[in-house]
Structure 1
């Protein structure tokens, strides 16, 4: 099936590049910022005074980015159209004292971040990436994208109960990766990273480091109609949101047309552990940016209230495609399929923020883009996950709709989606941002 769209399979090719280049939230926002800068957006510092000029701007804070485009003619009360997403994924993160080991094996001490499928981290070739804090107060990104660590699984010969009782992993004892032979010495890992980064000994004084699989994204299947890769939850949405914002801003700037809304991308960190941080959706970042933009355009608190009252946010996060081996775990009348288009996520207990009015907004965007969409609701007998959607709606008082792409193997090292769904999502986001 073909769709009248700006994005096609080339978007999915670009997503693969983005995923491979974004092993951490810090890398993801840096890559998003680079794409925005190429499209004419400029970074503004939160510590500087802001002006009310038109054009594209963005704020970077840690693993979060908020970008917006002020069209010509936008007033101080002009409402926003926001695509919300998150940059973090469940993984294994390095502890403050990383050097450990036993019985002649050198290991790295890690802590479990979020809710990963622990078994998917076993016997994988892992790299190490993240953010280094240096003695002079600066930070530097590092990405060792080669086989460096491995969490070795216990052989079946030493645990026959695996076949009858299933795999049981202790998060403290069984998930510590090996990275060499010999005795562990304090400072080994950081000294190694200083050498890798071309730094002098003692320059690194802090770090936010995490492991990642070095296996690259790939098309899968007889017809290559599936995409396998890491961190689709939720870099798939970050990538689509970035592409959509660039497309809308570029079209508006070229045509000189007046958009009825100010399009925004808000990609937060720490969704996987509750969003309560200065870079999370439950923090002040988004509200502060939107308010300052209103005031920079000469607005008052009344203008801010009018703007927020007309604002709509699409919270874009991955959801569950129907699993062929576990179909009974899904609602019997809601079976989202791969390559069936984005999903509209509904939960009457507000685990998702979608209501009937929100459905109408998303329906209009999909119809405008010529993109099919599906509905998702959880099986009543199973708990429902949540997103940044309800948090965004409650914290800022803005209409929010939860959507996303249906995938399999959510929270695995390697997730799976339909190869067409990323660009179908991006096309729907363009239509939404255009209003």
Structure 2
């Protein structure tokens, strides 16, 4: 179910929607609603959980944020809104409901390391495919999305290519290059973690594939011609370095520098364009727009500082802030912003604490990678209004849910492997083939094959 959501999220143009449903017709949005309803039906059935319940701060923080959004939504409608703001407000609440379905299904549905690793691998594969499409767009100047425009019953798709300086800015199936770059940044730490695991497992036949995916993501990050994407890539790698085996840290850093240098050499003028982006940041139109947003934020916030003006009511006709954190502050107020920050911090803590306290090293590495993905996405939300772009926000909420699932799996590990014992490598107990789910694989506290 989560994989279907992932495919609908990344494989289809993010603005592709059923014409009859308008703003509510995006396939990934509808599937997220299905996930929420499915999760709700399972909650009212007789419990059949084979693991001891684990406290999930992610679930609590998500519930608090959702309640604050609903209160602000109700107050905004009672206060009265222009006719054209009612539908965007309803759509905003339903989008949050869809993202909540993804988080809740991930937390309660993924119970084993096999399932968690499978989802992480699928995120890497889909985002690497997104990167490959972006590189093809950069090299050819073609969007390759024309067939989607001819689909019967769907509205025209957006996205493809933009320009900056003398270079094209790819966006693959995303609506905007910043959405595309955020998706790459979320996937980079996950790709690095999976590549490290495969090296540690000594699966020679699969080692090259995962390093190739990581290389695609890195190359696409350089070719995105975006400050935000480069910042996200560097932050993701830097935050992942402490979690890597010491013998691979220098290799990863040197490999990233060499790959970046190779891309610059192979693309004449790219180095000067990238340096110019950072050198001229003070005079850049997007930077000036964000500065205006910062100056105007107190004016908008003064109307309702605690619960905001209402989710979805801050339309572009008023002001485009290019900063999702400011958007959340104005629409949901101080309480909503604190609740959303708590949601992200709860996810980061869940992944990182599983990484620190995990009895097995693959749990540590995957937990740290998921925490880094959420932290990187949280940083990049300050550079664009991310909630308006499905791919970036959808991947963020998938990562949040997987952080919660990692906490449950780490708890099961702790029950089987005492914390006083020396942390073990899961692959030390596996057969030489290193196949996950084999008869010799470690068992979780519930007896399920991990």
Specify if TM > 0.5.
no
Structure with more strand by fraction:
1
- Greater helix fraction, Structure 1 or Structure 2: 2
TM-score by length of 2: 0.27
TM-score, structure 1 normalization: 0.28
